[in-house]
C-alpha cells in the first residue's frame, strides 16, 4: 500500500525490530522507526532493514509518536510496536475501513483478537482492569462502544492525526488519540488484532509509577482539551 507509512517507536528493540520492519515493508511502501535513544543498536538494525530512522530522547512513547509527525507525507499512518507484539499481516485490515471511507481512525482490539499480555498475573490483571475501566468511561462520555482504548496498533488518517494536537509524553497518548478523535467529530472503528507476548526483554511501562497519569490525562481529554478542528 503506497498510501501508508508504518511508524514503529522502538527503544532497545534490536532483537525484534528487524523482523517487525520486514513484515511492515511487505505491507506498505514506507517504514519509519523512531529510535528512543537506544543503546543496543536498534537504529543500525532498522537502517539495515530498509527503514527510515529518526531519533527521540527515549523519554516516553508519547513523545516518540509526536516526533514522527513532521516526517509523515502519506495519507494514512499506522502505528505498530517494535517488540513483535503486533502482527504486520493485520496492517491491511486496520487500513481497510479508512480506505473504504468508513472510518478516520481504526484501532486493533485485543479484547476482540486476544492477547498474551493482558491476563495471567497481577500486573496483567491491573492492566486489563484499568484499561477496561478507562474504555467504559470513554464509551459513556463519547457515546461509542469500543472494547480496547490502550492498544498501540492503529491506523489513522494523517491529516486527522495532525489536527489532534497531541500533548501526552508517555503511553497515555493511546487514549488521548482516541478521545480527541471522537471529541473532534471523527469516526473510530475497531478490528480484532491479536497481541503476542513481547519477543524479548521487559515492558517499558511501570504501572505502579504511571497509573495516576492515566486518570489525570483521561479527565483532561474527556472534559477539557480539544483537538484543533
Q: Which residues bind ligand GDP (CB under 6 A)?
A: 9-11, 13, 34-36, 56, 58-61, 64, 81-83, 85, 152, 171, 198, 203-205
- For residues 36 and 103, the answer to whether their CB atoms sit within 8 Å is no
Distances in whole angstroms, Cα of residue 72 to Cα of each of 4, 32, 96 = 9, 9, 19
Q: Under rule CB under 5 A, which residues in 148-167 are in contact with Mg ion?
A: none
- DSSP 3-state of 30: strand
Candidate ranges 43-51, 85-93, 106-114, 186-194; the one touching Mg ion (CB under 5 A) = 85-93
Cα dihedral sign for 187, 27, 45, 115?
positive
Cα 103 to Cα 96: distance, rounded to the nearest angstrom: 9
13 lines the binding site for Mg ion (CB under 5 A) = no
- For residues 118 and 124, the answer to whether their CB atoms sit within 8 Å is yes
Which residue is closest to ligand GDP by CB?
Answer: 36
Please say which residue, 80 or 191, places its beta carbon nearer to ligand GDP: 80
Size of the site for Mg ion (CB under 5 A): 4
> Which residue, among 117, 83, 100, has the nearest Cα to 191 in the 3D structure?
100
| Contact partner at residue 66 from ligand GDP, Mg ion, none, CB < 5 to 8 Å by partner kind | none
Q: What minimum distance in Å lies between the beta carbon of 200 and Mg ion?
A: 11
Among the listed residues 30, 83, 148, 168, the single contact to Mg ion using CB under 5 A? 83
Q: What minimum distance in Å lies between the beta carbon of 136 and Mg ion?
A: 23
198 lines the binding site for Mg ion (CB under 5 A) = yes
Please say which residue, 68 or 103, places its beta carbon nearer to ligand GDP: 68
- For residues 182 and 145, the answer to whether their CB atoms sit within 8 Å is no
* 52 beta partners: 32
Amino acid at each position: 500500500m503506497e498510501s501508508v507509512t508504518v511508524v514503529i517507536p522502538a527503544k532497545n528493540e534490536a532483537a525484534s525490530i528487524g523482523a517487525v520492519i520486514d513484515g511492515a515493508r511487505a505491507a506498505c511502501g514506507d517504514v519509519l522507526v523512531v529510535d528512543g535513544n537506544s543503546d543496543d543498536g536498534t537504529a543500525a538494525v532498522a537502517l539495515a532493514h530498509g527503514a527510515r530512522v529518526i531519533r527521540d530522547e527515549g523519554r516516553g512513547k508519547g513523545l516518540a509518536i509526536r516526533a514522527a509527525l513532521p516526517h509523515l507525507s502519506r495519507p494514512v499512518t499506522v502505528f505498530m510496536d517494535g517488540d513483535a507484539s503486533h502482527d504486520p499481516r493485520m496492517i491491511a485490515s486496520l487500513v481497510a475501513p479508512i480506505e473504504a471511507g468508513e472510518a478516520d481512525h481504526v484501532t486493533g482490539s485485543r479484547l476482540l483478537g486476544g492477547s498474551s499480555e493482558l491476563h495471567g498475573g497481577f500486573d496483567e490483571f491491573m492492566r486489563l482492569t484499568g484499561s477496561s475501566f478507562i474504555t467504559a468511561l470513554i464509551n459513556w462520555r463519547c457515546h461509542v462502544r469500543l472494547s480496547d482504548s490502550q492498544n498501540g496498533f492503529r491506523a489513522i488518517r494523517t491529516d486527522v492525526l495532525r489536527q489532534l494536537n497531541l500533548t501526552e509524553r508517555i503511553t497515555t497518548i493511546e487514549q488521548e488519540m482516541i478521545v480527541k478523535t471522537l471529541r473532534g467529530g471523527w469516526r473510530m472503528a475497531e478490528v480484532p488484532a491479536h497481541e503476542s507476548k513481547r519477543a524479548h526483554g521487559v515492558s517499558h511501562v511501570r504501572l505502579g509509577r504511571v497509573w495516576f497519569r492515566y486518570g489525570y490525562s483521561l479527565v483532561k481529554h474527556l472534559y477539557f482539551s480539544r483537538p484543533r478542528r
